[in-house]
């Protein structure tokens, strides 16, 4: 059973407190399908997220199967299924691959056969068997909603929360999805299905309907009593009628008449009626109480609502025996509840409650989740032809661009006598020629090294900028289902690390071979290129993790790369006053500076120093600083992954 008691949630906006939920109280028995309806902005999705633990209530308590979630910890991922209203699957995967991935990420199966048995069962349950080989991008709206349900059913959850899963569908598809929810609630007598919807059609398929208005509960009961309670001819007339009165007045009216409706339909808040007998039977008339026919209410009608009454004179009032039985039951229930709460306080602390689940529902280990995420990411990459062509173009095109500028220049510079014999007197003409050669050599070598670094960081930015932000919605849903943040980060490190090594090493080796060797230690230069690429990849991955929009993450990452060239000090020297404050943050500076420092034993070092006044740091210091960039970037990425960014 799910119980909400006096749940309130406020939001500070423009210096004022706005109530999103106001004293929400209701209970839902198992084997039950509940609809939460109400006008736009009334708090339906907020209420669902509060139940799921995505938002924390200010006051009140939520109980699930007798335990207080605030004290005993959130729902275990195997207990909860949450279907958001946005798309929650990768477009390039097939239906079968999506469900199989969900099984691998959320359950432990004894072997491959048992895992596929779950996949087949879930697809059959949601009517997706004939669509198993279709990619998500070609599915219709109704088919995508079925897939969303399938992804949550892999753990056979006892609490299934659905947010607007029928919105935007045609009437036939809406009816089919609602019928599917009805069947899911009936298939498992321990399950509760709650569906948030704006639509008032197909309400007959729900056991009960909860109507919200500006964060307040204004009705909770069977759909067949809706018209009577609101005194309307059709359910579609409820929203206009709600708008004619304040939420406070509607809430007060429901508070006055709630007990009568609960008793009439054997629905009750936990304080009064035991939920062992609270299950609604379809087409069943209320015991002892016959509701009068609907009568339209006017704005001047202070009674607002009609209270159910008996048509039978003998049952107009409770018999003494019923009164005594009711009071006795209420007293025993209160005692039992107080004892349970005391027991919880003694033996439990907040977030220390471990829910016992069977083996298939235990979460896979960190490396099992990492392996599945990595396998899935490579599958998506192979099917994204545009991305593959872009990476190939950068991998081979950028090094070729560097070679164009250094193909003839480096061999010619090597033949120059950069260092002259100090004992030879040079005439003015020879000195001028020597100085010119020195500047050309230094400018060429410095420019080629910097160009490699900047192009490598540009590739790194392209690799990582959209990596997290581009699949944020999927990440949020999978984290709620038990995906560990560390598993997700490890999969990104392994996936992007492949590009870091391939792009940086190929850049260095290709330029080295075709330019007949750029001066300096090749191994150290390659390491610095890899670290520059890795550092920029990590920083851009951190940006991607912190940003909600992939477009914003991409723009910010491009700006970051754009600043590398002017702020490196390789082309224009930075003012000495600000140089110490800027250089620590510039990846290009450290890779460029460390690479040039490896030339100290060659004549080229003098040439480089002749064309730049920027200080050149030793390679070991450059590696250390780039390592810090790498760690900071991954830390930001981890923090972004852990931070909830639901819409």
pLDDT tier, 342 (very low <50, low <70, confident <90, very high otherwise): low
**How far is C-alpha 229 from the chain's CA centre?**
40
Structure tokens at 511: 């330029």
Q: What is the pLDDT of residue 427?
A: 58
Cα torsion angle, 254, 260, 262, 264, sign = negative
Higher pLDDT, 398 or 438: 398
DSSP per-residue string spanning 515-574? TT--SS-HHHHHHHHHHHHHHHHHHHHHHHHH-S-HHHHHHHHHHHHHTHHHHTSSSSPP
> Is the per-residue pLDDT at 572 higher than 70?
yes
Residue 611: its pLDDT value, please?
72
Best CA proximity match to 10, nearest among 59, 54, 68: 59
Q: Would you state the pLDDT for residue 647?
A: 65
The stretch 273-292 carries a mean pLDDT of 41
pLDDT in tens, 597-624: 988 877 677 777 777 778 888 999 999 9
Range with lowest mean pLDDT among 56-60, 190-194, 515-519, 556-560: 515-519
The token duo for 194 is 């709650």
Sign of CA dihedral 118, 122, 124, 128: negative
Q: Lowest-pLDDT range, 178-182, 183-187, 249-253, 351-355?
A: 351-355
Mean pLDDT lowest among 185-194, 258-267, 612-621 = 258-267
Three-state DSSP at 619 gives helix
What integer pLDDT is reported at residue 67 of this predicted model?
Answer: 85
At residue 423, does pLDDT exceed 60? no
> What CATH number should be reported for the domain whose range is 2-79+157-289+296-361?
3.40.50.300
Q: What's the pLDDT at 219?
A: 94
Confidence grade of residue 326 (pLDDT, cut at 50, 70, 90): very low
- For residue 294, pLDDT beyond 50: no
| Gap between the Cα atoms of 502 and 504, Å rounded | 6
User: For the chain, what is the largest distance between any 2 Cα atoms, rounded to a whole number of angstroms?
Assistant: 130
188 pLDDT band, cuts 50/70/90, is confident
Taking Cα atoms as reference points, which of 4, 7, 3, 19 lies closest to residue 60?
Answer: 7
Residue 308's pLDDT band, with cuts at 50, 70 and 90, is: very low
Residue 285 has pLDDT above 60, yes or no: no
| Contact indicator for 636, 546 with CB cutoff of 8 Å | yes
In this predicted structure, the answer to whether residue 347 has a pLDDT above a threshold of 50 is: no
Residue 293 carries which DSSP code?
Answer: P
If one compares 417 and 584, the residue with the highest pLDDT of the two is: 584
Q: Is the predicted pLDDT of residue 586 greater than 90, yes or no?
A: yes
Query: What confidence tier does 322 reach under pLDDT thresholds 50, 70, 90?
Result: very low
- Residue 33: the pLDDT is 95
**Confidence (pLDDT) at 645:** 84
Mean pLDDT, rounded, of the chain: 82
CB-based contacts of 596, cutoff 8 Å, min separation 6: 445, 446, 449, 520, 605, 608, 616
Question: Rounded mean pLDDT of 622-643?
Answer: 96
For position 408, what pLDDT does the model report? 59
pLDDT digits (tens, 9 = 90+) for 44-101: 999 999 999 888 889 999 999 888 888 777 788 888 999 988 778 999 999 999 999 9
**Confidence check: pLDDT of 218 > 50:** yes
582 pLDDT higher than 50: yes
Is the model more confident about 517 or about 149?
A: 149
pLDDT tens digits, 387-404: 999 999 999 999 999 888
Residue-wise pLDDT for 446-465, tens only, equals 888 899 999 999 999 999 99
Burial of 240 (0-12, 13-18, 19+ CB in 10 A): exposed
Residue 404 is predicted with a pLDDT of 84
Report the alpha-carbon distance of residue 541 to residue 543 in Å, rounded: 5
Average pLDDT of 354-362? 54
479-511 per-position pLDDT tens digit: 999 999 999 999 999 999 999 999 999 999 998
pLDDT value, residue 262: 84
Q: Is the pLDDT of residue 226 over 50?
A: yes
Is the confidence at residue 333, as pLDDT, over 70? no
Per mean pLDDT, which of 236-240, 284-288, 310-314, 551-555 is the most reliable? 551-555
Greater model confidence, 342 or 160: 160
Domain boundaries, the chain: 2-79+157-289+296-361, 366-642
pLDDT tens track for 100-126: 999 999 999 888 999 999 999 999 999
Please tell me the distance from the alpha carbon of residue 403 to that of residue 396, in angstroms, as a whole number. Answer: 11
pTM of the model: 0.83
Residue 260 confidence class, pLDDT cut points 50, 70, 90: confident
Percent of the chain with pLDDT over 90: 52
Instruction: Tell me the pLDDT band of 436, cut-offs 50, 70 and 90.
Output: low
Q: DSSP letter string over 524-537?
A: HHHHHHHHHHHHHH
């Amino acid at each position: 059973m799910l119980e909400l008691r006096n749940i309130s949630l406020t939001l500070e906006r423009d210096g004022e407190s706005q109530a999103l939920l106001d004293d929400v109280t209701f209970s839902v028995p198992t084997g039950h399908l509940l609809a939460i309806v109400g006008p736009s902005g009334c708090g339906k999705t907020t209420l669902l997220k509060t139940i799921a633990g995505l938002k924390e209530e200010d006051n009140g308590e939520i109980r699930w199967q007798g335990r207080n979630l605030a004290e005993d910890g959130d729902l275990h991922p195997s207990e909860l299924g949450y279907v958001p209203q946005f798309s929650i699957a990768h477009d390039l995967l097939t239906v079968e691959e999506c469900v199989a991935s969900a099984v691998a990420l959320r359950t432990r199966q004894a072997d491959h056969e048992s895992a596929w048995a779950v996949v087949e069962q879930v697809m059959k349950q949601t009517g997706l068997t004939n669509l198993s080989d279709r990619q998500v991008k070609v599915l219709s709206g109704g088919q995508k909603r079925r897939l969303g349900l399938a992804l949550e059913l892999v753990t056979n959850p006892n609490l299934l929360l659905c947010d607007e899963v029928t919105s935007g569908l045609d009437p036939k598809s809406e009816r089919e999805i609602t019928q599917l929810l009805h069947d899911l609630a009936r298939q498992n007598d321990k399950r509760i299905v709650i569906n948030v919807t704006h639509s008032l059609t197909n309400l007959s398929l729900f056991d009960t309907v909860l109507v919200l208005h500006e964060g307040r509960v204004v009705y909770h009961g069977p759909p067949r009593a809706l018209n009577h309670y609101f005194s309307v001819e059709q359910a579609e007339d409820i929203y206009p009628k709600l708008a004619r009165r304040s939420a406070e007045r509607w809430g007060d009216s429901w508070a006055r008449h709630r007990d009568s409706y609960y008793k009439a339909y054997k629905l009750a808040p936990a304080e009064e009626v035991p939920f062992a007998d609270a299950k609604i039977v379809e087409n069943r008339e209320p015991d002892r109480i016959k509701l009068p026919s609907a009568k339209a209410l006017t704005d001047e009608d202070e009674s607002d609502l009609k209270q159910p009454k008996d048509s039978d004179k003998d049952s107009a009032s409770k018999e003494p025996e019923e009164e005594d039985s009711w009071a006795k039951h209420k007293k025993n229930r209160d005692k039992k509840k107080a004892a349970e709460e005391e027991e919880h306080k003694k033996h439990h602390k907040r977030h220390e409650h471990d829910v016992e689940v069977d083996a298939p529902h235990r979460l896979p280990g960190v490396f099992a989740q990492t392996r599945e995420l990595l396998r899935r990411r490579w599958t998506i990459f192979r099917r994204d032809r545009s991305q593959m062509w872009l990476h190939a173009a950068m991998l081979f095109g950028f090094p070729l661009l560097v070679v164009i500028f250094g193909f003839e220049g480096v061999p010619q510079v090597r033949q120059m006598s950069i260092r002259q014999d100090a004992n030879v007197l040079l005439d003015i003409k020879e000195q001028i020629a020597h100085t010119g050669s020195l500047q050309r050599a230094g400018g060429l070598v410095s420019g080629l090294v910097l160009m490699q670094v900047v192009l490598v960081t540009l590739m790194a930015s392209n690799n990582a900028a959209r990596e997290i932000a581009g699949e944020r919605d999927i990440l949020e849903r999978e984290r709620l289902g038990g995906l560990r943040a560390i598993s997700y980060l490890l999969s990104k490190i392994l996936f992007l690390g492949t590009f870091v090594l391939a792009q940086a090493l190929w850049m260095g080796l290709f330029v080295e071979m075709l330019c007949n060797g750029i001066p300096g230690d090749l191994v150290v230069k390659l390491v610095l290129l890899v670290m520059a690429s890795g550092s920029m990849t990590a920083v851009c991955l951190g940006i991607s993790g912190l940003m909600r929009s992939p477009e914003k993450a991409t723009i910010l990452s491009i700006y970051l790369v754009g600043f590398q060239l002017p702020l490196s000090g390789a082309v224009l020297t930075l003012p000495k006053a600000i140089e110490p404050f800027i250089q620590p943050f510039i990846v290009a500076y450290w890779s460029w500076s460390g690479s040039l420092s490896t030339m100290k034993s060659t004549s080229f070092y003098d040439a480089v120093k002749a064309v730049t006044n920027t200080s050149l740091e030793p390679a070991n210091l450059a590696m250390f600083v780039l390592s810090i960039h790498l760690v900071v970037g991954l830390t930001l990425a981890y923090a972004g992954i852990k931070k909830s960014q639901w819409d």
